[in-house]
Structure 1
Amino acid sequence: FDAAFFNITVQEARSLDPQQRLLLECSYEALENGGITKQYLKGRDVGVFIGGSPADYEVNNLRDVATIPMHQTTGCATSLQSNRISYYFDLKGPSMTVDTACSSSLTALHLACQSLRSKECSTALVGGSHVNLLPDTFASMSLSRLFSDSGKSYPFDQQSKSQTVNGYGRGEGVGCIVLKPLQDALDAGDAIRAVILNTGVNQDGRTRGITMPN
């Protein structure tokens, strides 16, 4: 991680959750891929919507009070997964981290689309990051029988409706995309990778169990 590139000190970088580090890098790459410079973004109404979750890194940082890093509080705050991006690029639009478990990034995408439609922001950066660093969470989830026997997830295919699907598989990764209203992107001559026709969000209420997909 190139801390100096993001104006982060070595001491602060030691406290920084790898999920935040990856999001900083990936957001920069997404904007660069879209031909949008940091100088152009400065002070603009650009929103940041991140699907995030608590950091394994924080658990490790807090194991011994004698060795807690100085910047632990901000380095591992879930809210900073989005706000650190806004801070670095000096973005003035909405900035939020969304945790709806497995649907976090798609829910963040939905909120970004709403924000663009209501003109809260003119451009939105949407992303998500997850890193598995410790066995503790795996042990806890295993006790709750949350993992599938195959170690895989089947969210959108026919197997998801089968009684043989009995859990999910944990993964790691990071991804960021830049959103604009279609006409704005066309007017600017942007490279358009895909068009979002619509989004939606809901909760299924009282299902067979609180861990059931809904």
Structure 2
Amino acid sequence: VLETGWEVFGRAGYTRRQLDGSATGVYIGLFNLEHASTALAEVASIDTYTLTGTLHSAVAGRLSYWLGLTGPSVVVDTACSSSLVALHLACNALRRGECAMAVVGGASVLLSPAGYVLYSQTHGMSPSGRCRAFSGKADGMVRAEGCGAVLLKRLSLAQRDGDPILALITGSAVNQDGRSNGFAAPSGAAQQAVSRRLWRRRSSNPAPSTW
């Protein structure tokens, strides 16, 4: 996250001097516990750096600390939607003026076979070894690792500052399934409800939208 966050700022044309002391937020989606569980497996190996090296809060906090960013620094864990909820929170913070810009990211590393066993026990893994999102042939998930990040800024400020603009976020919404067909199962009704609420709030026609 530290390396990817720095790369995002560099690609946007920001120097470390410009960032130091800036009201820049950091919002990171993270729910994989394997880094911490692996580091804590051997008690005798715990040292001075283990605490700050395994806390989820330190993933965002370290980037804020290293670059001197003074905006909100938040780690979000909402399972599969973690980075999207982080994006939603960052957008709201920008609208409220809590930060001038925000880096939003997500990360996952697979360091232990235990994760595969856990998901296999819940019958969540795809027997075919393929992810088929939105397909009638979908038969489960496939685990993967990686790290990604984007830099967000209000459109008017990005245009004023001559920032490179790659995309525009016109709206976002969040909800929860509540009581549904299973604690870990997605609720189609809840997902439809949050989508409808977003479209009503934007007063837009969802027909032209694509995935």
- TM > 0.5 fold call: yes
TM-score by length of 1: 0.83
AA matched with 1:89 = L
AA matched with 2:2 = L
Q: SS of the residue aligned with 2:147?
A: strand
Q: SS of the residue aligned with 1:140?
A: helix
The alignment yields a C-alpha RMSD, in angstroms, of 1.4
How many Å separate the matches in 1 of 2:42 and 2:70? 38
AA matched with 1:59 = S
How many Å separate the matches in 2 of 1:165 and 1:208? 18
TM-score by length of 2: 0.84
Q: Are 1:198 and 2:176 an aligned pair? A: no
How many Å separate the matches in 2 of 1:28 and 1:60? 26
Q: Deviations over 1:51-75 (max 9, x none)?
A: 0124312222222222223311110
Structure 1 residue 208: Cα displacement:
0.9
Q: Are 1:110 and 2:88 an aligned pair? A: yes
Q: Residue 32 of structure 1 is aligned with which of 2, 5, 10? A: 10
Structure 1 residue 181: Cα displacement:
0.3
Q: Are 1:172 and 2:145 an aligned pair? A: yes
Q: SS of the residue aligned with 1:129?
A: strand
Q: Percent identity among equivalent residues?
A: 41
Q: Residue 134 of structure 1 is aligned with which of 112, 116, 128? A: 112
Structure 1 residue 109: Cα displacement:
0.4
Q: Are 1:122 and 2:100 an aligned pair? A: yes
* Contact 2:128–2:139 under 8 Å retained in 1: no
- Over 4 Å off, 4+ runs: none
Q: 1:76 to 1:103 in 2, by over 3 A?
A: same
How many Å separate the matches in 2 of 1:69 and 1:144? 35
What stretches of structure 1 of length at least 5 have no aligned partner? Answer: 1-22
Q: Are 1:210 and 2:183 an aligned pair? A: yes
Structure 1 residue 152: Cα displacement:
3.0
AA matched with 2:5 = S
Q: Deviations over 1:29-55 (max 9, x none)?
A: 000000011110111111100001243
Q: Which segment drifts farther, 52-61 or 85-94?
A: 52-61
* Contact 1:61–1:69 under 8 Å retained in 2: no
How many Å separate the matches in 2 of 1:154 and 1:122? 38
Q: Deviations over 1:52-109 (max 9, x none)?
A: 1243122222222222233111101111111111111111111100011111111100
| Count of paired positions | 187
Q: Which segment drifts farther, 132-141 or 142-151?
A: 142-151
